[in-house]
Chain A
Amino acid sequence: MSKLVFAFLAHAAAMALPLAAQSPAPDPFKVVGRADAFMTSGYHWRGIRRSSGPLFQLDGAGGFALGPVAATAGIWLTLDPRRATATHHSDLAAGEKGLSEWDIWGQLSWQTQRVTLAGGVLRSQFRRPNRDPRVTELFGQTRLQSGRWSVSLSGWRAVAGADGLYLEPAAGFHHLVWPFAGPAITWATTLRAGIQAGHRQESLPQPVPGATGTGLTHITASTAARLGIHVANVVAIVGQLSAEVQYRRDAAVRRRPDGSRGKPLKIWLPIQVGLSVPLRRPGQ
């Protein structure tokens, strides 16, 4: 399966070559960076529900860019403000609160108006009662945008701390991208599927989150409205309201906090509010 992924990535790169040839002369070598601080009403990862209440998620990343090519590294944190109990989803052991996961990553990316290609290493660390389990994955992502349509394929291959390959194909349509100056407003609908190729945590002593079975894990249809308001042309206040419908197949995706098996269909309305630096709205 991983061969398939890399074949797809190679194909996407080949498709993008004519575009690359038309691209402008690369910008001067630049230091790039960004930071985000978000509060999210609920956290789903690869279809799996990871919290029952709101979480804080912080990230920071930086590196160097030469035109469309960037070498970057970053850190991403999840903080659960509530004490974990046995009756709600949490990565933390019962009675604990605070940092529940922290990830570090490094990647090479190439991004033009229509094409995004990225690949790198991701190290995820989780808080557990006895020993913090870790997983290291190689990942690749390709994304094509054509008008208001976009398609993407992402893949994560576990190389340490777990096994298996997780694939996520997605297709999206932007109903609205605000064409005027002022706040950045978008409304998009996305269909996303999760596919687990090879068992993720078979025979591992410290399980990390992930699908328990193989094949299709879930399909999610979401529609999201996003609003970004400039503050002093530096930072953006971002709010996003979504409606999501999920078909759940894998046991990990369907699992309730008490361990019982949930229904195959689920609907929820996640909300995200946060700050992003720097402001990324193109100029006038």
Chain B
Amino acid sequence: MSTSPSWHIALAAALGIAACGTWQAQPLPAPVSTENPGTGWLEAGAATVDITPPPGLGLAGTGPESRRSTGYRTRLYARALFLQDPRGERIAFVVMDLAHVSANLHRLAAARLFERIGLGADRLIVSATHTHSGPAHFYGERQYNLNVSRVPGYDPHWAQFLANRIADAVESARDVKRRAVAATGSIPILGATRNRSLAPFCKNDGWQDSVVCKERLVEHALDSMLVMLRVDAVNARTADTTPLASYSVFAIHGTGVPSVNTLLDGDVHVRILRRLSRLLDPAGRLETVHILANGTEGDVAPKVDRDPACLVPRPGVVDRFPLARGPGEAVDFLEPPARKTAACLDADLEKVEAVAERVAERAAALYSQLRARLSSDLPIRRGFSSNWLPGNDSLCVAPELGSGTAAGGEGAEPRIRGWRWLFWPLLYLGFEEGGSSVQKRPGTCQSPKRGLLEPFGQIITGEHGFPEVAQLTVVRVGDAIFASVPAEVTTIAGARIRQAMVERLQGADWQPANIAIIGLANGFLQYVTTRAEYNLQHYEGGSDMYGPGTGEFLARRLADLTGLLRGGAAAPSPPAQVGPITAYPGPASEIMPLPLGPPREPNFRVILRCEAGRLAGDVYDLGPGDVFPRDSVFLRLLVEGRDGKSVATDGDGYLEVHGIGWKRGGYLWRIRWRRPPDAVSYRLERLDLDGKVLRKSDPVTCANGG
């Protein structure tokens, strides 16, 4: 525990009492799944629902670099896989195109699912892909709502919407469940990721003198295994199988898209899944749902060497022109030049595609291999626990971020990275990895962490500012284990968790062939490192909130849950402990644009044109809150002609949609197609919710610069 001076505690308490009204305590439901009769078959269903919000929400993940969203490049989804074994044991996996998933989303969704299908929090694993271009404002923790984005605030409508959509995805998957066969396996993938925090990694026992550390082989200092669960549907009459879904776990940070981006984007995950679908089903005939969860990605970044043009804002004079006489100049952070930003984005998006291609190729290879191992004999068992964190076991009483957190991770550096001093030589900032972010404070629980904005950080954070409960799940599916942790676990911390789980199964009736740790699931505790990594106080160690013992704590608790699954296929799942959780999201704000209806004198129209060799367009239409959320296509680009072949739809990663604002006669949506057009005529169409064409542009030809 931090030994802050008593006046700090007194002030914090006073501020806490004063702030009680703004903490908005919200006890969350704690539903436990009901008994469920089996059908004697393994059954599975999968579904995808759209969660793309209208433009205007803040993007989450890089704190002061996370801009307000101005539109979308890819649509965002919740993808769900529902599994039920012959005895009726069920589990639902959901992966969201979000930076994080908070415990309140998990519990609120579980409450809805409990009402609809009797599925509780103990059988629901909701995780985030960790895209840093996904929206914020849904957290049950006040500090996250304030600081994960430049746009602060908690929007209860948005949180409820997300919880509903999670439930919708699971219910839809359950509604279409069919008799199934499944198989699990793993494959190494090198060349797509790298360790972004090698110095702490190499401080771990056994690694100091390794070739990986001596030669700085960052592409090998990580967990390269992709673990996959392939599920095929079985035709009850013919016993033929058809691909139904896959659920994979792979460690890769969602930071391929640089922080200068302002469009919603599923980052590397959405591109991997798109390529995987194309590789496995080039004709697009199947409706296989591929799902990719994140693994122990705490220190693992996509292999995207950031373009030097990708500048973050720097301090500069904000005045448009200097005053010869007048008040002094105003200094603020100035955005990098727009041309550089655009070049940076284009370059990095190409690199993200290359990373996605590499992962998708290997995932497709594993998927094909698993066909020969498909079986209906995959028992499902789960263990679940809710763990109170403050002061529990080896954890610190007060969660605290380190100053190294403000330095950001490599590849996602914020504008304040490298700021060491507030006032030399009296007050440190310590916004760097290592160096001044390390402070020897013997006897304190968080030592050697220098607290963020110390000595005021704890006061600013206040009580209940960060998560206080960790929900852990261990699921056995056949001979594989899927364990969920509400954190970003580093490579070695993850390896130790797996090791603890394996040790607990020694002498058991079965042994796991693969153990996948699903990160960022059912809550968000930020990072979890090993003690050795923590001692260096790089970004990940600084963001390990409950002190150096967090990794060991999670390893013990997950091993305990694993131990409950030692029984063979006939043993039932152990009773679940779904403990109480209270959310403290802070005051509610209305951030997500709501429906306004059409303008008084609508003049809706669709215009397509050629701009510098690219297709661009203006769509005057309904406002953001009236167009989104929606599951169906909004805009479609076609090749003009009899066939009217569709070449792009909004949010496919290439047809970017920017929300500009209200103009005369409608809200202006500006589109840009990132692909070079062919020498043919194109048309842009605006579709209604049923897919019918509402309006269309005149045909435009735009080859060779138009």
Which residues of A come within 8 Å of B, CB atoms? 22-25, 32, 34, 36, 38, 57, 59, 61, 63, 65, 70, 72, 74, 76, 103, 105, 107, 109, 111-114, 116, 118, 120, 122, 139, 141, 143, 145, 147-148, 150, 174-177, 179-182, 184, 186, 188, 226, 228, 238, 240, 272, 274, 276, 280-284
Contacts and interface: CB of A to CB of B under 8 A. Distances in A.
A188 B319 CA distance: 17
Given A65-B320, A177-B315, A122 B152 contact: no
Label chain A's interface by main secondary structure. Answer: strand
Interface stretch (B281-289, B419-427, B466-474): B419-427
A65 to B, nearest CB: 6
Contacts of B337: 22-24, 113
A180 B335 contact: no
Given A175-B422, A180-B64, A181-B151, A25 B339 contact: yes
A120 B322 CA distance: 11
Contacts of A180: 63-64, 147, 150, 152
Label chain B's interface by main secondary structure. Answer: loop
A36 B318 CA distance: 15
Contacts of B147: 180
A179 B321 contact: no
B336 interface: yes
A283 to B, nearest CB: 8
B340 A184 contact: no
Given A38-B327, A180-B64, A22 B340 contact: yes
A120 B324 contact: yes
Contacts of A240: 328
A111 B322 contact: yes
Given A70-B321, A143-B317, A147-B314, A113 B334 contact: yes
27 contacts: A36-B326, A59-B325, A61-B323, A65-B321, A74-B324, A103-B324, A103-B325, A111-B317, A111-B320, A111-B322, A112-B316, A113-B314, A118-B324, A143-B322, A143-B329, A145-B314, A145-B315, A150-B331, A180-B63, A180-B147, A181-B150, A181-B152, A182-B152, A184-B330, A226-B330, A238-B327, A280-B318
B416 interface: yes
Contacts of B336: 113
Given A113-B334, A122-B325, A145 B422 contact: no
A72 B322 CA distance: 9
Contact of B332 (A76, A112, A280): A280
Contacts of B423: 175
Contact of B324 (A34, A139, A143, A182): A139
Interface string B406-425: 00000000111011011100
Nearest to B416: A179
A284 B340 contact: no
A78 to B, nearest CB: 9
A63 B324 CA distance: 13
B326 A59 contact: yes
B58 interface: yes
A186 to B, nearest CB: 6
Given A61-B321, A175-B422, 15 more contacts: A23-B339, A25-B339, A34-B323, A36-B327, A74-B324, A74-B325, A116-B317, A118-B321, A145-B331, A147-B418, A181-B150, A186-B331, A238-B327, A276-B327, A280-B318
Interface in B213-246: none
B341 to A, nearest CB: 9
A169 B318 CA distance: 21
A175 B425 CA distance: 12
Contacts of B587: none
Contacts of A57: 326-327
B699 interface: no
A281 B327 contact: no
Interface in B150-178: 150-152
A74 B317 contact: no
Contacts of B418: 147
B333 interface: yes
Contact of A109 (B67, B321, B340): B321
B332 A282 contact: yes
Nearest to A156: B324
Given A179-B415, A188-B331, A113 B316 contact: yes
A282 B151 contact: no
B538 interface: no
Contacts of B315: 145, 147-148, 174, 177
A177 B338 CA distance: 22
Quick one: which of B319, B326, B336, B423 has the most chain A CB within 10 A? B326
